[in-house]
Amino acid sequence: MDVRAGCERTHLEDVLLTKELGGYRDYCKQTKFRLVPRLW
């Protein structure tokens, strides 16, 4: 998978989870780096 495509997919998943999963926004606030520790 192309790195750019992977980044786009991850972004779209975050958007979807924010809309559809109740506590995801709070999780994001508490968990600064969700994909790569200290980077992203």
Per-residue pLDDT, averaged over 2-25, amounts to: 91
Q: How confident is the model at residue 1 (pLDDT cuts 50, 70, 90)?
A: low
Q: Tell me, what's the pLDDT at 33?
A: 75
Model's pTM, two decimal places? 0.66
DSSP at 36:
S
Please determine, for residue 7, whether its predicted confidence score (pLDDT) is greater than 90: no
